């Protein structure tokens, strides 16, 4: 998702980025051509006249609006849940960074604290690439020592492997006498929360909206839009292509936007900006530990 400045109301009419118009423009063009053909043929397909009027489309349009409302609401709920999970990820890693700095008594230039910072900073990058099914090794090699990076590379669930490495780091500091059992429990509580956040993101990415809903809405929207010109022809005449295409834009654009938001961790314009969020988290934990 790209952050856009608030546009003037008139300029918003011509906004291209984020409007999904690029994806649906060929379909709208086809809709305009089919509507023009319906006007040219007088509402006939060959020798058969299609006797339709606006009434059935009014009733059907209400039903489609309800379906699209549900689809968009469910998709936005997934988008917002994804954003909340990444907000919680930032909070948990900040808390762990603070604990690593203040509860261990390690100075900022200590190699052990720098290792802790590297593990925390690597976590969002590893999670980002796992959710998008891309390779995170370029980011991990930049942040982690070679031996640690090799261990993470061998893991299938790399964010959880990093969580295990964090737990090992905490246990080592406890064995050094840096803190006692109570502080160890506090560390463990935040690591558990981090694991829950990673699991929540995995659940969201691996559990799409049931396919049947998408099929029903997709099929209904396109059949409605293809038949609409024949229902408008008697009432609006030559304006049928314009009005039918505008109605099609409304329905098809809403369906396309819902498909984008359904997977908040994707790479579409309206999806979450995971690259920016990962960089912000990396900077935040580095500042918390004083190693930046």
CA 15 to chain centre: 21
H or E, element range at 44? strand 44-45
With a CB cutoff of 8 Å and minimum separation 6, the contacts of 153 are: 137, 140
What is the tally of helices (H) and strands (E) in the chain?
A: 11, 2
Nearest C-alpha neighbor of 119 from the set 96, 86, 87, 99: 96
User: CA–CA separation, 262 vs 71, rounded Å?
Assistant: 9
Nearest C-alpha neighbor of 241 from the set 17, 33, 26, 1: 33
Give, in order, the Cα–Cα distances in Å from 139 to each of 79, 111, 135, 146, 272: 25, 20, 9, 12, 19
User: CA–CA separation, 5 vs 222, rounded Å?
Assistant: 33
* Confidence at residue 292, expressed as pLDDT on a 0 to 100 scale: 66
**8 Å CB contact between 233 and 256:** no
Residues in a beta bridge with 48: 45
**8 Å CB contact between 213 and 91:** no
* Confidence at residue 135, expressed as pLDDT on a 0 to 100 scale: 93
Domains of the chain by residue range: 106-207+274-289
* Confidence at residue 211, expressed as pLDDT on a 0 to 100 scale: 87
Half-sphere exposure of 134 (CA within 13 A, CB side): 14
User: CA–CA separation, 242 vs 163, rounded Å?
Assistant: 56
Cβ neighbours, 10 Å, residue 41? 14
- Joined tokens for residue 1: 């998702």
* Confidence at residue 269, expressed as pLDDT on a 0 to 100 scale: 86
Residue 6 DSSP label: P
Q: 45 by DSSP, 3-state: which?
A: strand
Q: From first to last of its 292 residues, what are the pLDDT tens digits of the chain? A: 555 566 666 677 777 777 788 889 999 999 999 889 888 887 677 666 666 777 788 888 888 888 888 889 999 999 999 999 999 999 999 999 999 999 998 898 899 999 999 999 999 999 999 999 999 999 999 999 999 999 999 999 999 999 999 999 999 999 999 999 999 999 999 999 999 999 999 999 999 888 888 888 889 999 998 888 888 887 888 888 999 999 999 999 999 999 889 999 999 888 999 999 999 999 999 998 887 6
User: CA–CA separation, 73 vs 51, rounded Å?
Assistant: 36
* Confidence at residue 20, expressed as pLDDT on a 0 to 100 scale: 84
Checking DSSP bridges between strand 44-45 and strand 48-49, what pairing results, if any? Answer: antiparallel
* Confidence at residue 1, expressed as pLDDT on a 0 to 100 scale: 55
């Amino acid at each position: 998702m790209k952050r856009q400045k608030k546009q003037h109301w008139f300029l918003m009419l011509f906004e291209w980025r984020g409007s999904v118009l690029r994806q649906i423009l060929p379909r709208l063009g086809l809709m305009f051509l089919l509507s023009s053909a319906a006007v040219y043929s007088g509402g006939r397909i060959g020798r058969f006249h299609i006797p339709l009027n606006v009434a059935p489309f009014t009733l059907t349009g209400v039903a489609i609006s309800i379906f699209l409302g549900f689809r968009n609401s469910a998709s936005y709920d997934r988008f917002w849940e994804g954003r909340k999970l990444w907000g919680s990820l930032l909070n948990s890693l900040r808390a762990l960074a603070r604990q690593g700095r203040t509860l261990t008594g390690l100075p900022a230039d200590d190699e052990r604290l720098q290792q802790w910072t590297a593990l925390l900073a690597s976590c969002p990058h590893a999670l980002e690439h796992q959710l998008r099914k891309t390779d995170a090794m370029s980011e991990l090699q930049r942040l982690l020592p070679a031996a640690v990076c090799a261990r993470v590379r061998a893991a299938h669930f790399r964010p959880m492997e990093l969580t295990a490495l964090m737990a090992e780091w905490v246990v080592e500091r406890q064995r050094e006498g840096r803190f006692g059992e109570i502080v160890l429990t506090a560390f463990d509580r935040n690591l558990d929360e981090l694991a829950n956040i990673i699991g929540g993101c995995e659940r969201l990415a691996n559990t799409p909206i049931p396919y049947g809903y998408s099929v029903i809405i997709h099929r209904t929207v396109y059949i409605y839009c293809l038949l609409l010109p024949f229902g408008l022809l008697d009432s609006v005449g030559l304006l049928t292509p314009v009005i039918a295409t505008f109605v099609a834009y409304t329905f098809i654009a809403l369906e396309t936007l819902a498909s984008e938001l359904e997977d908040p961790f994707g790479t579409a314009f309206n999806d979450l900006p995971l690259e920016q969020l990962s960089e912000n988290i990396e900077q935040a934990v580095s500042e918390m530990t004083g190693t930046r």
